[in-house]
Amino acid sequence: MIAPLGRRRVSVVDVRRVGAYFVTSASDPDGPPPDPGQFYMLTAAERWGGGEDERPFLPRAFSVLRAADHTLEFMLEDVGPGTHRLGELRAGDELWLAGPFGNGFTEPRDGRRPLLVGGGVGTAPLAILQDATRASALLGFRDAHHAEGAALLRDARVATDDGSVGHAGPVTDLLLAELGQDAHVEVYACGPHGMLEAVRAICAEHAIPAQLALESGMACGYGACFGCVVATRQGYVRLCVDGPVLQAEELEHVA
């Protein structure tokens, strides 16, 4: 799906708290429906960073969590000034929104079963993908408070770093156990770089195809600023137009 040019001013229709995360819903009557794995650039319409004589924040890129009836959902965590401002929004406030951008996930190959692997806010693009595929999901979080985000997917198996919920250890432990039972899968993963690199290495060792939704600094979404360049085996690509989903075999490693 190709994003229309320019940004749209849209209304926030709902905000709910899910553990450590906010799920913000916005009405987007003039935008096309996104594909799973695509993303949007968001800014608050008012008070978007800085004070008098200070520069505003750059837009923030967010994978779409869910989309239905011209309503988009995004999963946010307050980790800095930009996400803090977005987390302050409530129903009736407004956003500047652009998107959907990038290339999303594609169908599994060779009749393989899709298997979702996520970490933290990397849960977001897996929710809309699960809605489309009915795939099973393995999710990793740092603790019980963050693990409440697993409720955004259906029947997810959970791992936590501190062992407070589910398996004690990284989500890749659950992945290895799953591959031991059924290796005829295609892995769809999104999460922090360290997790994605571990998923990439495991899938390479077991000759299993994987699609990785990567994150990098983005300022525009249109490929103009070259702020989101990542290295692949074929050279450098811009994640906002060539990704954010890349085939794992295209990467030497996830940096």
pLDDT in tens, 190-220: 999 999 999 999 999 999 999 999 988 888 8
pLDDT given for residue 55 in this prediction: 79
Same domain, 30 and 127: no
Number of domains within the chain: 2
CA separation for the pair 255, 246 (Å, rounded): 14
Please state, in angstroms and as integers, the Cα–Cα distance from residue 76 to each residue in 42, 46, 55, 61, following that order.
11, 18, 23, 10
Q: Please name the residue ranges forming H helices in 14-53.
A: none
Decide if pLDDT at 1 tops 80. Answer: no
Q: Band the pLDDT of 234: cuts 50, 70, 90.
A: very high
Tokens (6 digits) for 127: 């929710």
Same domain, 122 and 221: yes
Same domain, 147 and 244: yes
Taking only the tens place, the pLDDT of each residue in 86-142 is 999 999 999 999 999 999 999 999 999 999 999 999 999 999 999 999 899 999 999
Tokens (6 digits) for 99: 């998107």
CA separation for the pair 215, 98 (Å, rounded): 17
Same domain, 44 and 135: no
Decide if pLDDT at 83 tops 90. Answer: yes
158 or 217, higher pLDDT: 158
Among 70, 101, 132, give the residue marking a domain's end: 101
Of 61-70, 77-86, 212-221, the range with the lowest mean pLDDT is 212-221
CB-hemisphere CA count at 13 Å for 142?
10
Q: Which domain holds residue 44?
A: 8-101
- DSSP letter at 148 equals G
pLDDT given for residue 222 in this prediction: 83
pLDDT given for residue 226 in this prediction: 86
Same domain, 179 and 200: yes
Please indicate, yes or no, if residue 26 is contained in any of the structural domains: yes
Kind of pairing between the strands at 71-76 and 21-27: antiparallel
Please indicate, yes or no, if residue 107 is contained in any of the structural domains: no
CATH number, residue 75: 2.40.30.10
Please indicate, yes or no, if residue 58 is contained in any of the structural domains: yes
Same domain, 88 and 204: no
CATH number, residue 179: 3.40.50.80
Please state, in angstroms and as integers, the Cα–Cα distance from residue 235 to each residue in 71, 158, 229, 238, 252, following that order.
37, 35, 10, 10, 11
Among 101, 126, 153, give the residue marking a domain's end: 101
The sign of the dihedral angle between the CA atoms of 207, 211, 213, 216 is positive
Task: Enumerate long-range contacts of 12-19, CB under 8 Å, 24 or more apart.
Answer: 12/89, 12/90, 12/91, 12/92, 12/93, 12/94, 12/95, 13/71, 13/91, 14/91, 15/89, 15/90, 15/91, 18/75, 18/148, 18/149, 18/151, 18/152, 19/145, 19/146, 19/147, 19/148, 19/149
Same domain, 21 and 144: no
Please indicate, yes or no, if residue 176 is contained in any of the structural domains: yes
pLDDT given for residue 223 in this prediction: 85
Same domain, 141 and 235: yes
Please indicate, yes or no, if residue 3 is contained in any of the structural domains: no
Same domain, 132 and 179: yes
Same domain, 152 and 34: no
Whether the Cβ atoms of residue 38 and residue 64 lie closer than 8 Å to each other: yes
Decide if pLDDT at 242 tops 80. Answer: yes
Taking only the tens place, the pLDDT of each residue in 121-132 is 999 999 999 999
Among 101, 135, 151, give the residue marking a domain's end: 101
pLDDT given for residue 157 in this prediction: 98
Please indicate, yes or no, if residue 2 is contained in any of the structural domains: no
Taking only the tens place, the pLDDT of each residue in 18-62 is 999 999 999 999 999 999 999 999 999 999 987 777 778 899 999
pLDDT given for residue 49 in this prediction: 82
Same domain, 125 and 28: no
Please indicate, yes or no, if residue 168 is contained in any of the structural domains: yes
Same domain, 122 and 150: yes
* The amino acid at 18: V
Please indicate, yes or no, if residue 1 is contained in any of the structural domains: no
